[in-house]
């Protein structure tokens, strides 16, 4: 890779990163919205509705066990209020709404203790890499019990042209298989998985999202197999240092010591 390409990649990466001063100002002005459910497909569907109903940013999910999941969004107060209301309606349609909250201006102490800041998701995404299954329709099927989830995942893969992207466990025996593909294939796969889950164990919930937004993509669990991590940029060195690296280093010559021949009597004694 040439120096010009390396410099252009560095410049584009610096432009894409927000100014720390600007980020702090936005964080102080932004409100916090939380919607809690007792199902992973329900919380993902809730987060999708919040993103599509208002100009908010999805920070991520908080899972505290026993099936309790909370979707966390940030944005202007009016946008967050609208997003929380629409997200709560979606959770109610599932019959899984636990609670909702809008906090206009969280104090800095909350920002550094709780996972509610947008910077945490940016760092997590950089470390995780990018999925090869992005921009495909999303299907989530939740069961109670691991065998039922594995059987449902197998049925989904055999019934339609979908890929198993990963799975999620949230406690209380709830497991969610996540598949990706076209809308039609995901719908067929999810239906087949529902019947198989009911045959093996207990079916809990299902969700199909035709067009997941970029913010939602960053928070979905994805197996390492599907991730493409960017190659690290080479370390740039001054020309003087690179010239020193090319110079050969002369090794000291070893002292030549003549071999000492043993006496004839000693050799004959050793052979006997």
pLDDT digits (tens, 9 = 90+) for 155-211: 999 999 999 999 999 999 999 999 999 999 999 999 999 999 999 999 999 999 998
Residue 55: give the domain boundaries.
3-119
pLDDT at position 217, please? 83
**179 and 216: one domain?**
yes
Q: Is 218 helix (H, G, I), strand (E, B) or coil?
A: helix
d(CA 116, CA 17): 19
H or E stretch covering 270: helix 264-271
Tell me the pLDDT tens digit for each residue of 28-46. 558 999 999 999 999 999 9
What is the structure's pLDDT at 266? 58
pLDDT score at 227: 74
Ranges 6-15, 22-31, 52-61: which has the least confidence: 6-15
- The yes-or-no verdict on residue 115 having pLDDT over 60 is yes
CA distance 165 to 182: 14
Of the pLDDT bands very low, low, confident and very high (cuts 50, 70, 90), residue 102 is very high
Residue 41 in domain: yes
Does residue 52 lie within any of the structural domains?
A: yes
Residue ending a domain, choose from 59, 94, 119: 119
Does the reported pTM lie above 0.75?
A: no
On the question of pLDDT at 88 being above 50, the answer is yes
Q: Do 97 and 159 fall within a single domain?
A: no
Instruction: Say yes or no to pLDDT of 83 above 70.
Output: yes
Hey, what's the torsion of the CAs at 2, 234, 226, 53, to 10 degrees?
A: -90
Does the pLDDT of residue 15 top 60, yes or no? no
Residue 218 · residue 57 · CB < 8 Å:
no
Tokens of 187: 């719908």
In a domain, 262, yes or no: no
Residues 6+ away with beta carbon under 8 Å from 94: 37, 39, 41, 42, 45, 205
Domain presence at residue 255: no
Same domain, 11 and 105: yes
Task: Return the structure tokens found at 115.
Answer: 């996972």
Nearest alpha-carbon partner for 180 in 169, 189, 193, 191: 189
Q: Give the total number of structural domains in the chain.
A: 2
């Amino acid at each position: 890779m040439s120096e010009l390409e390396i410099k252009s990649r560095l410049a584009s990466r610096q432009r894409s990163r927000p100014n720390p001063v600007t980020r702090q100002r936005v964080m102080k002005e932004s409100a916090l919205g939380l919607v809690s459910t007792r199902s992973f497909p329900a919380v993902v569907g809730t987060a999708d509705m919040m993103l599509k109903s208002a100009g908010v940013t999805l920070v991520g999910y908080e899972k505290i066990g026993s099936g309790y999941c909370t979707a966390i969004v940030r944005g202007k107060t009016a946008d967050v209020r609208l997003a929380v209301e629409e997200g709560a309606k979606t959770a109610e349609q599932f019959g899984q709404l636990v609670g909702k909250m809008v906090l206009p201006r969280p104090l800095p102490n909350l920002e550094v203790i709780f996972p509610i800041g947008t910077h945490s998701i940016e760092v997590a995404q950089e470390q995780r890499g990018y999925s090869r299954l992005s921009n495909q329709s999303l299907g989530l099927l939740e069961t109670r019990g691991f065998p039922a989830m594995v059987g449902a995942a197998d049925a989904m893969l055999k019934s339609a042209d979908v890929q198993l992207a990963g799975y999620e466990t949230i406690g209380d025996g709830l497991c969610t298989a996540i598949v990706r593909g076209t809308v039609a294939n995901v719908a067929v796969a999810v239906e087949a998985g529902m019947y198989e889950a009911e045959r093996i164990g207990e079916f809990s919930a299902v969700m199909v999202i035709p067009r997941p937004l970029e913010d939602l993509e960053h928070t979905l669990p994805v197996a390492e197999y599907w991730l493409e991590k960017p190659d690290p940029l080479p370390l740039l060195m001054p020309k003087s240092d690179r010239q020193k690296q090319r110079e050969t280093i002369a090794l000291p010559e070893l002292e030549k010591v003549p071999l000492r021949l043993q006496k004839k009597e000693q050799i004959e004694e050793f052979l006997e």
